[in-house]
């Protein structure tokens, strides 16, 4: 077996690993070899020499991301085993269907593969590395993917890590096809609806796969309603609302690129449908200028307001202000879908921000549903940091 270099922890710093939390913080390390390279696989030992786990070493506050709590090599066989487990679970969850070819195959720590995201769009896999070690192992991962997914469901593999790797690591990753790329269609199906997915230039891997179930719930409530999809991006919620029988749907995003992606996706499914309109405008400005009672179903799905702990207070103020603007304008009997995808903000904090907005608005507000991320974005119970998406569905009188 390949012998890996060893990192030894300080006394008492082994407890979180013994509870299967997959991160080793830099302050926990007592010693490591001087020649240990960033991205290299290392064995992590407790101060008494007991083996704890094997993972990728990286410079920064999280020094090791544990890939396995067993003493095993991190090779092609390892990735194949992990990916096979992830694919089996998606199939068992009935996410892999002819009318649903869009799903997340690997969700980092939630699939025991810290640093790795793989989204599937039809016959294309988009692979994203969030750690130097995963970047260095990308060929092993691509080979494992080819072994695990049926050949006819995997024709293209796009690697998209330019924006997700630490720039100090000087890896110069390239966003590029690692397999296929010729004649790729870019169209995938989610719950029977078609979406054009732009993994080359789009945000994240090109699409927000994590809102699939929440879009379906919105579809259910859309019949006859006048819908505002604020922060529409690729128009996911808009297309579901149209299928749900909405009277009218307005999609708004500050980015004109996003608005044109939305238009494209509406046309793909409901070509020429006069119920849909879109505009490129700032959310706060738009909400300020609309008349009270214009909409009776609104979606607020903003980008993460807080990307790190230091930004939490400002972000909470932002959520409060945004939700207040929507609640003030909602028609009586209206429904508000409101979200936060800030990982550092807890669901209690988010709910408190929305509570403050409700109280200031003076509206009678009840919580109908509390939403989260779907089953293909599982949360490793030993790694609560994996929980990031939270939403509330409110009935506003
Ligand atoms: N709801 C979408 C995802 C939203 S992503 C979906 O289901 O796919 C967040 C979007 O907010 C981005 O498209 C971004 O362009 C937009 N955005 C960011 N700041 C904004 C602002 N101040 N006003 C309006 N849109 C904004």
pLDDT tens readout for residues 188-199: 999 999 999 999
Question: For position 355, what pLDDT does the model report?
Answer: 98
- What is the pLDDT, as a whole number, of residue 291? 97
Ligand 1 centroid from CA 44, angstroms = 41
Q: Tell me which residue of 144, 142, 24, 127 sits closest to 82, measured CA to CA.
A: 144
Mutation test residue for ligand 1: of 196, 252, 299, 302, the one with most atoms within 8 Å of CB: 302
d(CA 181, CA 340): 34
Q: Give yes or no for residue 73 CB within 6 A of ligand 1.
A: no
What is the pLDDT, as a whole number, of residue 396?
98
Q: What's the pLDDT at 173?
A: 81
Atom 10, ligand 1: residue with shortest CA distance: 231
Q: What is the mean pLDDT of the chain?
A: 96
Handedness of CA 135, 342, 60, 171 (dihedral sign): positive
Q: Which range has the worst mean pLDDT, 3-12, 33-42, 170-179, 292-301?
A: 170-179
Predicted confidence band of residue 177 (pLDDT cuts 50, 70, 90): very high
Is the minimum distance from the CB of 219 to ligand 1 under 6 angstroms? Answer: no
287 to each of 263, 299, 329, how far by Cα in Å? Answer: 21, 12, 8
Name the residue with the closest Cα to ligand 1, atom 7.
236
Which atom, in ligand 1's list, is nearest to the CA of 285?
Answer: 23
pLDDT on residue 1: 54
Is the CB of 77 inside a 6 Å radius of any atom of ligand 1? Answer: no
d(CA 234, ligand 1 centre) in Å? 9
Q: What is the pLDDT of residue 2?
A: 62
Least reliable range by pLDDT among 6-10, 309-313, 324-328: 309-313
Please give the model's pTM, rounded to 2 decimal places.
0.96
Q: Is 11 exposed, middle or buried (0-12, 13-18, 19+ CB in 10 A)?
A: exposed
pLDDT digits (tens, 9 = 90+) for 92-147: 999 999 999 999 999 999 999 999 999 999 999 999 999 999 999 999 999 999 99
Question: Residue 220 pLDDT more than 90?
Answer: yes
- Give CA angle at 334 (361, 254), nearest 5°: 75
pLDDT at 169: 72
pLDDT band, very low/low/confident/very high, at 61 (cuts 50, 70, 90): very high
Mean pLDDT score, 153-175: 88
Q: Band the pLDDT of 174: cuts 50, 70, 90.
A: confident
pLDDT of residue 170: 77
Backbone angles phi, psi at 113, to 5 degrees: -135, 70
Cα of 303 vs centre of ligand 1, distance in Å, is 6
**Which residue in 300, 263, 279, 309 sits closest to 390, CA to CA?**
300
- CA nearest neighbour of 351 among 334, 333, 371, 331: 371
341 is catalytic: yes
Q: How far is the CA of 107 from the centre of ligand 1 (A)?
A: 22
Three-class secondary structure assignment of 143-171: HHHHHHCCHHHCCEEEECCCCCCCHHHCC
Q: Are strands 193-196 and 226-230 parallel, antiparallel or unpaired?
A: unpaired
181 Rama class: left (phi>0) / alpha (psi -120 to 50) / beta:
left
H or E element that contains 339:
strand 334-340
- Out of 341, 371, 394, 396, which one is annotated catalytic? 341
Of 173 and 239, the one with more pLDDT: 239
Token pair, residue 116, equals 């790795």
Look at residue 328 in the predicted model and tell me its pLDDT: 98
The ligand 1 atom nearest the CA atom of 299 = 1
Q: List b or e across 352-364, with b for residues whose CB sees 16 or more CB atoms inside 10 angstroms.
A: ebbebbbeebebe
Q: CA distances (Å), 206 to each of 85, 114, 203, 284, in order?
A: 24, 20, 5, 25
């Amino acid at each position: 077996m390949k012998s890996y270099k060893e990192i030894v922890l300080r006394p008492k710093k082994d407890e979180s690993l013994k509870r299967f939390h997959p991160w080793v913080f830099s302050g926990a390390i007592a010693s490591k070899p001087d020649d240990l390279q960033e991205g290299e696989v290392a064995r992590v030992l407790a101060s008494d020499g007991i083996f704890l786990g094997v993972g990728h070493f990286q410079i920064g506050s999280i020094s090791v991301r544990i890939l396995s709590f067993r003493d095993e090599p991190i090779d092609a066989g390892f990735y194949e085993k992990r990916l096979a487990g992830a694919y089996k679970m998606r199939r068992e969850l009935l996410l892999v269907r002819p009318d649903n070819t869009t799903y997340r195959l690997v969700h980092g720590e939630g699939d025991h593969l810290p640093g790795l995201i793989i989204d599937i769009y039809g016959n294309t896999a988009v692979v994203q590395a969030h750690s130097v070690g995963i970047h260095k192992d990308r060929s092993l991962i691509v080979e494992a993917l080819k072994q695990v997914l049926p050949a006819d469901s995997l024709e293209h593999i796009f690697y998209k890590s330019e924006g997700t790797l630490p720039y100090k690591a000087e890896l110069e990753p390239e966003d590029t096809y690692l397999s296929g790329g010729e004649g790729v269609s870019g169209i995938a199906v989610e719950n029977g609806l078609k979406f054009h997915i732009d993994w080359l230039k789009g945000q994240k891997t090109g699409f927000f796969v994590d809102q699939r179930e929440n879009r379906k719930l919105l579809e259910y409530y859309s019949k006859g309603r006048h819908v505002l999809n604020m922060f529409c991006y690729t128009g996911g919620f808009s297309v579901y609302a149209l299928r749900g029988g909405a009277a009218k749907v307005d999609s708004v995003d500050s980015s004109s690129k996003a608005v044109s992606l939305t238009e494209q996706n509406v046309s793909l499914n409901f070509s020429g449908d006069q119920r849909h309109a879109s505009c490129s405008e700032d959310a706060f400005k738009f909400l300020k200028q609309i008349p009270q009672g214009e909409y009776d179903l609104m979606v607020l799905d903003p980008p993460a307001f807080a990307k790190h702990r230091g930004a939490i207070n400002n972000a909470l103020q932002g959520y409060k202000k945004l939700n207040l603007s929507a609640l003030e304008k909602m028609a009586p009997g209206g429904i508000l879908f409101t979200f936060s995808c800030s990982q550092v903000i807890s669901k209690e904090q988010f709910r408190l921000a929305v509570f403050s907005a409700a109280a200031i608005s003076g509206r009678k507000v009840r919580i109908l549903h509390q939403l989260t991320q779907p089953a293909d974005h599982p949360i490793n119970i030993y790694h609560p940091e994996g929980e990031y998406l939270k939403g509330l569905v409110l009935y506003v009188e």
